[in-house]
Chains A and B, each alone.
Chain A
Amino acid sequence: NAGVTQTPKFRILKIGQSMTLQCTQDMNHNYMYWYRQDPGMGLKLIYYSVGAGITDKGEVPNGYNVSRSTTEDFPLRLELAAPSQTSVYFCASSYSRDTQYFGPGTRLTVL
């Protein structure tokens, strides 16, 4: 099992550009999450999903969108990138309310 995979690993965006961060898990987990980690801080939840077709906002959802059309994939969309979205983004998945397992992260810089 590859676990949770994320692409890309690194990305530089210009202000106003858009992009999609990809997240895939092969553990058949129904729950998936997106977090962001700012320097010197813990992780903050952006969006989560309890199953295909169901998503909900976390603590810091503004500026992001998600979709969950399959169990495996949970992409995160940035529509109009802003410098405040410079961060490391982590995707995680879990089986029901069990332990969350994290992907390797995507380091995003918005200039």
Chain B
Amino acid sequence: AQKVTQAQTEISVVEKEDVTLDCVYETRDTTYYLFWYKQPPSGELVFLIRRNSFDEQNEISGRYSWNFQKSTSSFNFTITASQVVDSAVYFCALSETQGGSEKLVFGKGTKLTVNP
């Protein structure tokens, strides 16, 4: 069965520090997608990135970067120069293909607190 592990339950940093959120996944699918979502204190889920299993290129978007390594089944997320507004719970998710639909299996999330 698909599984996503986010071993870091909570992380606390001071503003401007870099922080990496870890995500390890298990799947038997050869084609799959990995996602990161952000859940700020207001509660909504904000899509950050979607990565195809065939594309192992790292991605950078402003202060955010993602490192996808198939060899270690990891899809880590780094925030550079963190800001207070980055405080949120971050979820890593893996797509599971079943019944013709793409269903997401979520990790338990990492709560990031950025202190001023």
Contact call B45/A45, Cβ cutoff below 8 A: no
Total residues of chain A contacting the partner, CB 8 A: 27
Contact call B108/A56, Cβ cutoff below 8 A: no
Answer whether A88 and B101 are a contact pair too, CB < 8 Å, given A40-B108, A42-B108, A99-B50.
no
B64 interfacial contact with A, CB 8 Å:
no
- Chain A contact residues, majority secondary structure: strand
B62 interfacial contact with A, CB 8 Å:
no
Answer whether A88 and B47 are a contact pair too, CB < 8 Å, given A31-B101, A42-B109.
no
Nearest chain A residue, comparing its CB with the CB of B111:
A40
Contact call A42/B43, Cβ cutoff below 8 A: no
Q: Which residues of A contact B97 (CB under 8 A)?
A: 97
What is the CA–CA distance of A16 and B79 in the complex, to the nearest angstrom? 46
Q: How far is the CB of A54 from chain B (nearest CB, A)?
A: 9
Contact call B43/A94, Cβ cutoff below 8 A: no
B99 interfacial contact with A, CB 8 Å:
yes
A-side residues, CB < 8 A to B, are 31, 33, 40-45, 48, 50, 56, 58, 88, 90, 92, 94, 96-105, 107
